[in-house]
């Protein structure tokens, strides 16, 4: 298994050319970690030749629909083998998320009569194991060490994954914040959102100007730009120019299914 990032979903809740929803697959040191589970992520994994049962862990940066809408489908997929027949997993997949994760999972499955069968499968088969994290938490997956930082977005957390000599930081949704700068300091890859252009920045998100500041202050080896709204369609060069004015590392503006080797 090559060490890589597979950018499953690089957009927002509004589909745009080549981008929709949020989801990143991190494959490193023989482990597979899914970062967010937005719309069509399960199908995109399948198209990449990966079954949901091959995941080691799932991280939810926050609970908004464009980052979580495929979670019921993914949990259901864990109850079936590659041919669709029932299976009993040897161990649950870790479902890692901010404070409130257990309550969110209960509201999504237990309190929804139409999804209650998924909740029952999860109870019977132990498909996922919820792990709530906070600032200062540390989760280990084999050689991988995961650390977390709160961000400027409702219930939002960023994650840093250290795997030997490779480090990857995923911001989730956020306005520019010192916590991400600290978390990403000296990292190899910073995967950071840039939802709207600066002339019409909305909500707790990041524009190209804010992204340039975060990148220049944290100095990752490479910046991977994701969570781009359709407002950026055809204007990606403006984003790159703004970032490169103060950041000397590699800049990658991602599209759905883009593969980025971790080299």
Q: Dump strand ranges (E) for 164-230.
A: 166-170, 189-193, 222-226
Tell me the fold of 4-254. Answer: Metallo-beta-lactamase; Chain A (3.60.15)
DSSP 8-class letter at 92: P
Is beta strand 157-163 parallel, antiparallel or unpaired with respect to 166-170?
antiparallel
Q: What is the pLDDT of residue 190?
A: 99
| Backbone dihedral angles phi then psi of residue 139, each to the nearest 5 degrees | -125, 135
Q: What is the pLDDT of residue 201?
A: 81
And the tokens for 253? 């503006």
What whole-number distance in Å separates Cα of residue 182 and Cα of residue 177? 9
Helix (H, G, I), strand (E, B) or coil at 74: helix
Per-residue pLDDT of the chain (263 residues; tens, 9 = 90+): 899 999 999 999 999 999 999 999 999 999 999 999 999 999 999 999 999 999 999 999 999 999 999 999 999 999 998 888 999 999 999 999 999 999 999 999 988 888 889 999 999 899 999 999 999 999 999 999 999 999 999 999 999 999 999 999 999 999 999 999 999 999 999 999 999 998 988 789 999 999 999 999 999 999 999 999 999 999 999 999 999 999 999 999 999 999 999 98
Q: What is the pLDDT of residue 116?
A: 87
And the tokens for 58? 């799932």
Q: Are 163 and 29 in contact (CB under 8 A)?
A: yes
Q: Dump strand ranges (E) for 102-249.
A: 128-132, 138-141, 144-150, 157-163, 166-170, 189-193, 222-226
What whole-number distance in Å separates Cα of residue 225 and Cα of residue 190? 8
Q: What is the pLDDT of residue 61?
A: 99
Is beta strand 31-35 parallel, antiparallel or unpaired with respect to 250-253?
unpaired
- Name the CA dihedral angle for 65, 39, 37, 75, rounded to a multiple of 10 degrees: 100
Q: What is the pLDDT of residue 188?
A: 99
Q: Is the pTM of this model over 0.95?
A: yes
The residue whose two tokens read 């204007």 is 235
Q: 10 Å Cβ neighbour count for 48? A: 12
């Amino acid at each position: 298994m090559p060490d890589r990032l597979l950018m499953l979903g690089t957009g927002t809740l509004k589909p745009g050319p080549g981008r929709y929803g949020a989801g990143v697959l991190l494959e490193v040191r023989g482990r597979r970690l899914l970062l967010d589970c937005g719309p069509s992520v399960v199908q995109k994994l399948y198209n990449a030749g990966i079954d949901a049962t091959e995941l080691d862990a799932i991280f939810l940066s926050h609970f908004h629909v464009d980052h979580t809408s495929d979670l019921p489908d993914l949990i259901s997929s864990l109850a079936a083998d590659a041919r669709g027949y029932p299976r009993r997993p040897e161990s649950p997949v870790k479902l890692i998320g901010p404070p409130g994760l257990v309550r969110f999972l209960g509201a999504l499955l237990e309190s929804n009569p139409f999804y209650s069968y998924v909740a029952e499968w999860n109870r019977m088969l132990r498909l996922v194991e919820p792990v709530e994290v906070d600032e200062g938490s540390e989760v280990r997956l084999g050689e991988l060490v995961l650390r977390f930082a709160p961000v400027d977005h409702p219930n939002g957390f960023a994650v840093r994954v250290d795997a030997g000599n490779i480090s990857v930081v995923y911001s989730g949704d956020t306005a520019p914040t010192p916590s991400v700068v600290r978390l990403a300091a000296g990292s190899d890859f910073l995967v950071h959102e840039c939802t709207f252009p600066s002339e019409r920045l909305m909500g707790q998100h990041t524009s190209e100007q804010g992204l340039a500041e975060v990148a220049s202050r944290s100095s990752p080896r490479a910046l991977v730009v994701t969570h781009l709204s359709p407002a950026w369609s055809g204007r990606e060069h403006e984003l790159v120019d703004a970032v490169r004015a103060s950041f000397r590392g590699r800049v990658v503006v991602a599209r759905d299914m883009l593969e980025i080797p971790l080299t």
